[in-house]
Amino acid sequence: MRRHWPAVERGLATLYPAHGARLADQLAERVTRFVSERPDALFQRDLEREAEPDWFQQPDMVGYVAYADRFAGTLAGIHDHLDYLVDLGVTYLHLMPLLKAREGENDGGYAVASYDEVDPRLGTTADLQALAEALHERRMNLCVDLVLNHTAAEHPWAVKARAGDPTYRDYFLFYPDRTMPDRYERTMLEVFPTFAPGNFTWLPDMQQWVWTTFHEFQWDLDWSNPDVFAEMISVMLHLADLGVDALRLDAVPFMWKREGTDCQNLPEVHVLLRTLRAVIATAAPATIFKAEAIVPPDQLTPYVGAGDPPQHECELAYHNQLMVLLWSSLATGEARLMTTSLQRVAAIPTHASWVTYVRCHDDIGWAITDEAAAATGWNGFDHRNFLNEFYSGAFPTSFARGELFQFNPETGDGRISGSAASLCGIELALASGDTAHLDQACKRLELMYAVICGFGGIPLLYMGDELGMLNDHSYLHHPAHADDNRWVHRPPMDWAAAARRTVAGTLQARLFDVFRGLTADRAATPALHGGVNTEVLTPADPAILAFVRHHPVRGSFAMVANFGHSTRVFDLADLGLTAPTLVRTSDAEFEGGTIVLPPLAYAWFTTPG
């Protein structure tokens, strides 16, 4: 309390001037009661995590992302596959939305109908607690999603609001006519312009418009109401008491609204997150925050506390730029845009880390600004259009098999759905029976994952990538999924394919060994501790990506990669390391002080501390 509560009081006073002091007192009483009732094992975990606050920055921290039902059917079923994850080197399991969602269409589980219940198809809260305990016994960590911006229209708060309860009406944002919605819409964007246009939905039974940023069945919460803050603290404490180690905070940029803005990334959002963080740091320090903020780089780093002075906000945030730029470089055979764009991303505080990823459950939106493209000599609109054509397979020389998502013919904007294996060319190579192309496709997938494993922070492996799982079009036969082609890269886990990982010569054995090798080599490299920033170098060759990480105690790490279509040569002296030791490589060779990199080859180097 002495350490964190002043930040709670400051935040509440800023957000709720008339109610902050009262709310702070209420929360202090609640937190005191919560800590006194905390299970012994979790209280011990709190103490251990306070003693080792950089636990999530250790180089053996490797994440795996899956839908619980698609991975193992139920939460109880996951127990049967924990050895599989251990074998892969996973120490951080992120299970996609598992709280009770509305029936039917529910935005992949992000339309939450109850924060207190697990989706009954997956099990119970007792099953979730038992899974957390089983993970902890294996020195693994559990991450779950918590949707902060909105609830389902079927959530009890929304149901009571719809029935006329004035207390719960104040949890949401209602308007009797289009006057205010129209004023807001002047400066707001649309998240899903084709199947959920606009940001407001008309409710005939209430004769009211309700704020719905995402879908008409997802009602935005009014965070300017202190009761909403108090409710969400209760939700967070409940999940922390089930043993959840990381809360992935969904849609956080949208949490505060102000006319005349795009209602994203407003200063109040950061005050909210810092205040929520301070409450949880007091009550359950074993639980950390991961921000789901897919925003431009200059707006992203504040979510992990970047600023002057640095703040304690979320410990983790997705490095969306790195993901997008990897796919861009793979398509163009150049790393120049990646180099210049990553160099523009501001440093983050040493107490925070990136979450790096190649693929996730969502579509790939081409977050490449006109300014960033122009710095490389490209036209931003044309490049984004090229990437859509390339990864949908429309470009003549494309190896990818993806699908356009949310294409807007008026603006030319669009995104891409598809599994990593299909986007890397594995699907096309298998269909054509071309072993040479299959080899190249596997090297593309390995190169991408080698970068995210070496860049810093927590690398996330998306379920099935380690086996080369392809696009799954069975979603078209599911009424709740058929209109959303993101389900093409959300297939059920292929456990028959997983069994082939032990059969020499199979695609699954090749890829699984690559992923297992990456995680093992990463865990054995102390310099990959997440508490330092990555310095992206500027090679003379635009096809080369090179970066270094200098830890003050654990030594230095460097990576060199060739995204080009021909062999490249790199001078090791340009890394600025004294007598670097090779840790890992694909096809690179050494000649004196240079490294020869065939297409799609890479190398990891270290120097001792």
pLDDT one-digit tens code per residue, 323-362: 999 999 999 999 999 999 999 999 999 999 999 999 999 9
Structure-token pair, residue 260: 């005349």
State the Cα–Cα distance between residues 330 and 365, nearest whole angstrom: 16
Write phi, then psi, for 440 (nearest 5 degrees).
Answer: -65, -40
Query: Residue 451: inside a domain, yes or no?
Result: yes
pLDDT one-digit tens code per residue, 461-515: 999 999 999 999 999 999 888 989 999 999 999 999 999 999 999 999 999 999 9
Q: How many domains does the chain have?
A: 3
pLDDT one-digit tens code per residue, 66-81: 999 999 999 999 999 9
CA distances from 600 to 229, 241, 323, 578 (A): 48, 45, 17, 26
What is the residue-wise DSSP string for 422-491? HHHTHHHHHHHT-HHHHHHHHHHHHHHHHHHHHHSSEEEEETTGGGT----GGGGGSTTTTT-GGGGG-P
User: Band of the pLDDT at 413, cuts 50, 70, 90?
Assistant: confident
State the Cα–Cα distance between residues 22 and 146, nearest whole angstrom: 26
State the Cα–Cα distance between residues 469 and 421, nearest whole angstrom: 6
**How much is the pLDDT for 75?**
98
Does residue 412 have a pLDDT over 80? no
Q: What percent of the chain has pLDDT over 70?
A: 99
Whether residue 347 sits in one domain with residue 421 = yes
Does residue 65 have a pLDDT over 70? yes
Whether residue 389 sits in one domain with residue 482 = yes
SS3 assignment, position 536: strand
Whether residue 374 sits in one domain with residue 418 = yes
208-211/200-203 β-pairing? antiparallel
Whether residue 87 sits in one domain with residue 200 = no
Query: Residue 11: inside a domain, yes or no?
Result: no
pLDDT one-digit tens code per residue, 536-575: 999 999 999 999 999 999 999 999 999 999 999 999 999 9
Residue range(s) defining the domain that contains residue 594: 532-607
Whether residue 573 sits in one domain with residue 506 = no
State the Cα–Cα distance between residues 67 and 65, nearest whole angstrom: 7
Residue at a domain's end among 471, 495, 523: 523
* Least reliable range by pLDDT among 49-53, 106-110, 229-233, 419-423: 106-110
Residue at a domain's end among 479, 502, 523: 523
Which CATH number goes with the domain that contains 214? 3.90.400.10
Query: Residue 232: inside a domain, yes or no?
Result: no
Residue at a domain's end among 523, 547, 568: 523
Whether residue 411 sits in one domain with residue 386 = yes
Does residue 192 have a pLDDT over 90? no
Q: What is the mean pLDDT of the chain?
A: 95
**How much is the pLDDT for 507?**
98
User: Band of the pLDDT at 194, cuts 50, 70, 90?
Assistant: low
In sequence order, what are the beta bridge partners of 66? Answer: 95
Which CATH number goes with the domain that contains 469? 3.20.20.80
**How much is the pLDDT for 408?**
76
Does residue 313 have a pLDDT over 70? yes
Span 154-179, mean pLDDT?
97
Structure-token pair, residue 148: 């902060």
Check 46, 222, 241, 292 and give the catalytic one: 292
Whether residue 329 sits in one domain with residue 264 = yes
**How much is the pLDDT for 468?**
98
Whether residue 252 sits in one domain with residue 194 = no
Query: Residue 415: inside a domain, yes or no?
Result: yes
Whether residue 303 sits in one domain with residue 405 = yes
**How much is the pLDDT for 406?**
84
Whether residue 387 sits in one domain with residue 341 = yes
State the Cα–Cα distance between residues 444 and 313, nearest whole angstrom: 35
Check 9, 250, 446, 466 and give the catalytic one: 250
Whether residue 467 sits in one domain with residue 393 = yes
For 323-359, the three-class secondary structure string (H helix, E strand, C coil) is HHHHHHHHHHCCCHHHHHHHHCCCCCCCCCEEEEECC
CA distances from 153 to 229, 248, 250, 510 (A): 19, 22, 17, 46
User: Band of the pLDDT at 405, cuts 50, 70, 90?
Assistant: very high
Query: Residue 40: inside a domain, yes or no?
Result: no
**How much is the pLDDT for 195?**
65
353-357/174-175 β-pairing? unpaired
Structure-token pair, residue 219: 């009602």
pLDDT one-digit tens code per residue, 85-129: 999 999 999 999 999 999 988 988 999 999 999 999 999 999 999
Q: CA neighbours within 13 Å on the CB side: how many for 540?
A: 7
User: Does 362 participate in catalysis according to the annotation?
Assistant: no
Structure-token pair, residue 300: 């992203």
Q: pTM for this structure?
A: 0.95
User: Does 292 participate in catalysis according to the annotation?
Assistant: yes
State the Cα–Cα distance between residues 494 and 490, nearest whole angstrom: 12
Q: What percent of the chain has pLDDT over 90?
A: 91
Q: CA neighbours within 13 Å on the CB side: how many for 390?
A: 19
Whether residue 284 sits in one domain with residue 189 = no
Query: Residue 48: inside a domain, yes or no?
Result: no
Query: Residue 266: inside a domain, yes or no?
Result: yes
State the Cα–Cα distance between residues 290 and 92, nearest whole angstrom: 13
Query: Residue 227: inside a domain, yes or no?
Result: no
